[in-house]
Amino acid sequence: MPDLIGHRFAAPELLAQALTHRSAGAPHNERLEFLGDGLVNLFVAEALYTRWPRADEGALTRARAELVRESALAPIARALELGARLTLGPGEMKSGGHRRDSILADALEAVVAAIYLDSGFETCRQVVMPWFEAAMDALPPPHKVGKDAKTRLQEWLQGRGRPLPAYELVEESGEDHAKTFRVTCTLAQPVVVTEGQGNSRRSAEQVAAEAALAALEAL
């Protein structure tokens, strides 16, 4: 564990608390999570400020939101194998809590706070920021950050005076708890028809819009 996190704790009890969910009783990681959330936001904000010297406040804010949201933190927690080390109550263990994004993201923030309390601000930043490097490298240009595919497609078409896309639900299948939606995205000018699939109509539309953008770039 220490080698994956990149920090050897002088006070191992801090790490133990950081990995203890409230369902397992006190002391749990909620207070550490609160502190870690603030630290992660600061570290990421500072890194973006340095990386994008010409980006405005809006772009920086959207980029930070992309990097610190639950769905971005959970994969980092998985890469550090935090799930296998979580202490959960019986109910959370049975329901697979060690795999849940919300619990993993909270644990990651708690671990950040534990490192900070164990060794201070600079050490914490040096340990934590490499976890975010890949995600930061994968960010789109500042002016595109935070805009989903449907928004970017609409802006592309509006900027050229073209008709807006039409989305149509083609198929809805599966059980109520695990439905799959298939949607088409049709552009009139130029004529482009793409398809997307997802676990909600909205997510399927986003996939179809992304495919439409790729098709436009290829023209």
The letter for the amino acid at 99 is R
Q: What is the DSSP letter of 7?
A: -
Q: Is 133 annotated as a binding residue?
A: no
Q: Is 92 annotated as a binding residue?
A: no
Given the residues 3, 13, 30, 37, select the one marked as catalytic.
37
Q: Is 168 annotated as a binding residue?
A: no
**DSSP string covering 102-168:** HHHHHHHHHHHHHHHHHH-HHHHHHHHHHHHHHHHHT---GGGTT--HHHHHHHHHHHTTPPPPEEE
Measure the CA–CA gap between 48 and 58, rounded to whole angstroms: 12
* Cβ–Cβ < 8 Å for 210, 217: no
Distances (CA, A) of 7 to 43, 79, 102, 149, 176: 17, 15, 23, 38, 44
37 catalytically annotated: yes
Taking each helix axis as running N to C, give the angle between helix 57-68 and helix 70-79, from 0 to 180 degrees, rounded to the nearest 10.
50
109 catalytically annotated: yes
Measure the CA–CA gap between 83 and 80, rounded to whole angstroms: 8
Whether the ω angle into residue 90 lies within 30 degrees of 0, i.e. cis, is no
Given the residues 66, 92, 109, 205, select the one marked as catalytic.
109
**Catalytic residue list:** 37, 109
- Which residue positions form the known binding site for Mg(2+)? 33, 106, 109
- Which residue positions form the known binding site? 33, 106, 109
